Amino acid sequence: MTKFCLQGPESQKGARQLLENALAENRFPQAVLIEGERGIGKKALAMELAKTLSCSDSEIAPCGKCFGCKLASDPGNVQGWVIPLETAEANAKSAASVKENSTAKTVEEIKAEYIKKIFENPYSVSFVSNVAQISVDQIRSMTSQFSRTSDGVRVVIIAEADRMNESAANALLKTLEEVPPNTYFILTSSAAGRLLQTIRSRCLSLRLPPLSSDEVQKIARSYSDEELSPDALGMALGSPGMALYYNENIAENETLAFDFLKDSVEGNYSDLFFELEKFFPRGAGAADTAVMMLDFLEFLVGDALRILAGESCRLPDERANVESLNLGRFGAEALEKALLEITTAASNIAGRKNSAIVALQTLSIGLFEGYKR
């Protein structure tokens, strides 16, 4: 009898145990949806599960040595992945149709570069851009391989499945309604509510819990030489990927967020607008950097609310700065309203509804409006 041993953090052992039991009892579904916060380890578990399903060893799976395990562990196996791509990337020619001696990258080469990044760090939250999507052509390209006969197991990981556009989701739904033999789909999503309910109903849903601080530290060390700051760890909320994301340029982002908050509270809009133009120039990249700064701003205001309630801060290194603003004088209702406004501004910027500058200027004027004296 095969022993199934999925590797991963102790805090997520229960989720892995459910999968191992289903495998051992020969009742494993052909579609699995792994849900959880960004950077929590969904792709890491998907990769481990892909190896297990592909493994041909009769004693222990995954063995890591057989052809199936090696194929599932090969970043060049682009047929085993569907990932969000930007429009220009998704429209690149395939290797089968590219002209001889062409130096243009094929869609397979583009995918392979992204998949390599995932294998290098499956906890990363920024391997593709915020505007990347999964198109219907990508789903059709994936399902076209099913027409080829195969004696082995096929496993396809659909990373960030909630980024499928409507046509892609409907195309996948048709495939899930009648999955080919020996074929398994592993979907990952940090926003599963965006998926069609009919897709979710055809998958075994599994939600990964956050990790302990020690586990976050340990995993982060394995992917970065930089030590996590207490503030990055506090903002991570149990996600190694988010801890690494926030730890990049943390001092600069905390300074920007605090100055934004201070100038907004004090009404120093001319100085603030000048700084915004300097740090968030119009053009590519401004949206992503603005959204990161707003994440820090949200935690600063959240800590003001926590201080008011007598709780510990998520950003311990910034506690003195937060206390110096005395935001508690506005009251809990004003702080909660400010948090909502910050979230809305970040959503508008990420969704390209407003430019970073316009959204930040509007937020700065409206923050605590009606509560300032």
Tell me, what's the pLDDT at 150?
64
pLDDT tens-place string over residues 13-70: 999 999 999 999 999 999 999 999 999 999 999 999 999 999 999 999 999 999 999 9
The span from the CA of 71 to the CA of 158, in Å, is: 17
SS3 (DSSP) at 351: coil
Tell me, what's the pLDDT at 283?
57
CATH architecture of the domain formed by 3-209 = 3-Layer(aba) Sandwich (3.40)
The span from the CA of 219 to the CA of 243, in Å, is: 10
274 close to 325: Cβ distance less than 8 angstroms:
no
Name the packing angle between helices 356-366 and 286-308 (round to 10°): 20
Q: Pick the closest to residue 161 from 190, 182, 202 (CA basis).
A: 190
The span from the CA of 279 to the CA of 286, in Å, is: 8
DSSP structure class, residue 149 = -
Tell me, what's the pLDDT at 249?
87
SS3 (DSSP) at 34: strand
The span from the CA of 168 to the CA of 270, in Å, is: 46
Neighbours of 94 (CB within 10 A): 10
Question: For residue 183, which phi and psi values (nearest 5 degrees)?
Answer: -120, 135
User: Would you place residue 353 in the very low, low, confident or very high pLDDT band (cuts 50, 70, 90)?
Assistant: confident
Tell me, what's the pLDDT at 352?
78
Mean pLDDT over residues 220-245, rounded? 95
The span from the CA of 66 to the CA of 186, in Å, is: 21
Tell me, what's the pLDDT at 104?
74
Greater confidence, 147 or 214? Answer: 214
Token representation of residue 300: 């600063």
Which of 60-69, 149-158, 317-326 bottoms out in mean pLDDT, i.e. has the lowest? 149-158
Which of 198-207, 258-267, 313-322, 349-358 bottoms out in mean pLDDT, i.e. has the lowest? 349-358
Mean pLDDT over residues 180-187, rounded? 93
Strands across the sheet with 81-82, in order? 81-82, 154-158, 183-189, 31-35, 204-207
User: Would you place residue 354 in the very low, low, confident or very high pLDDT band (cuts 50, 70, 90)?
Assistant: confident
Mean pLDDT over residues 257-263, rounded? 96
- Beta strand 3-4 with 60-61 is parallel
Which of 133-137, 149-153, 351-355 bottoms out in mean pLDDT, i.e. has the lowest? 149-153
CA terminus-to-terminus distance, the chain? 73
Percent of the chain with pLDDT over 90: 74
83 close to 160: Cβ distance less than 8 angstroms:
yes
Domain boundary assignment for the chain: 3-209, 249-366
pTM listed for this prediction? 0.89
Mean pLDDT over residues 211-235, rounded? 95
Angle (CA) 193 288 271, round 5°: 125
Mean pLDDT over residues 301-321, rounded? 96
Tell me, what's the pLDDT at 284?
54
